[in-house]
Amino acid sequence: MTKKLFFQAIIKFVLGLLMLMVLLFLLAGTIHYYNGWLLLAVLFIPMFIAGIVMMICNPDLLKKRLNVKEEEKEQKAVVALSGMMFLAAFIVAGLSFRFKWMQLPNWVVIIGTVIFLLAYATYAEVLRENAYLSRTVEVQDNQKVIDMGLYGIVRHPMYLATLFLFLSMGLILGSFAILFLYIPIISKRIKNEEKVLEEGLDGYKEYKTKVKYKVIPYIF
């Protein structure tokens, strides 16, 4: 563990938290936006715990997760589209609360919260199973194909987790329609990612024949 990595992680965490707080509560026109506070809690508390665990147990993985600089041209477009999608979702959520455009019943919010936490648990399991898991599309030195655990069910369990994370986030905030755009965005990312892995990772083509589904078993 290095001081540089620690401060980099803390700074990104705090900036992310502050940015979401400004977007949600400024646009909502009040700090009494309880769905906003709920989202911040279920998003940032597990994130903080996961960061501490990685810092102590696997700082190399934390370093990979903090790196968001894509080298692939197609992935840069995906990152930009994802950023615009999230910005739009949070803006609409705050304004929707202020002007009462859409208010989902509490039972829907509760279901969304449960799905979010289950998806976060899946995310944590993927991190445990795959030490090569980077936020950028690349083939790392000495990387091997992971085909056990969740990777024995779908080829991209991280995207399975993030798909349900983002859609359930929309249920909590009431801006789920916008977050459905994540489906075509992630499809574009996976298409390019699999091309990179096929070209640079030994055994990946064979792995594709063994595990048929990309994200959701029997569907996609």
pTM assigned to the model: 0.88
Q: Are 213 and 160 in contact (CB under 8 A)?
A: no
pLDDT in tens, 116-149: 999 999 999 998 898 777 767 777 777 889 999 9
Is 154 contained in some domain?
A: yes
Is 219 contained in some domain?
A: no
From CA 194, how far away is CA 137, in angstroms rounded? Answer: 9
Q: What is the pLDDT of residue 53?
A: 85
Q: What residues have CB less than 8 Å from 167, skipping those under 6 apart?
A: 115, 176, 179, 180, 182
Is 217 contained in some domain?
A: no
Q: How many helices (H) and strands (E) does the chain have?
A: 10, 0
Structural domain range at position 48: 3-210
The confidence band for 43, taking pLDDT boundaries of 50, 70 and 90, is: very high
Rounded mean pLDDT, 8-32: 93
Is 218 contained in some domain?
A: no
Rounded mean pLDDT, 16-20: 93
Q: What residues have CB less than 8 Å from 64, skipping those under 6 apart?
A: 132, 133, 134, 135
Is 130 contained in some domain?
A: yes
Domains of the chain: total: 1
Is 8 contained in some domain?
A: yes
Q: Are 164 and 118 in contact (CB under 8 A)?
A: yes
Is 131 contained in some domain?
A: yes
Domain containing residue 167: CATH number: 1.20.120.1630
Is 24 contained in some domain?
A: yes
The confidence band for 68, taking pLDDT boundaries of 50, 70 and 90, is: low
Q: What is the pLDDT of residue 71?
A: 66
Whether the pLDDT of residue 1 is over 60: the answer is: no
Alpha-helical regions (H) of 22-156: 27-28, 34-57, 59-66, 73-99, 106-129
Rounded mean pLDDT, 72-87: 83
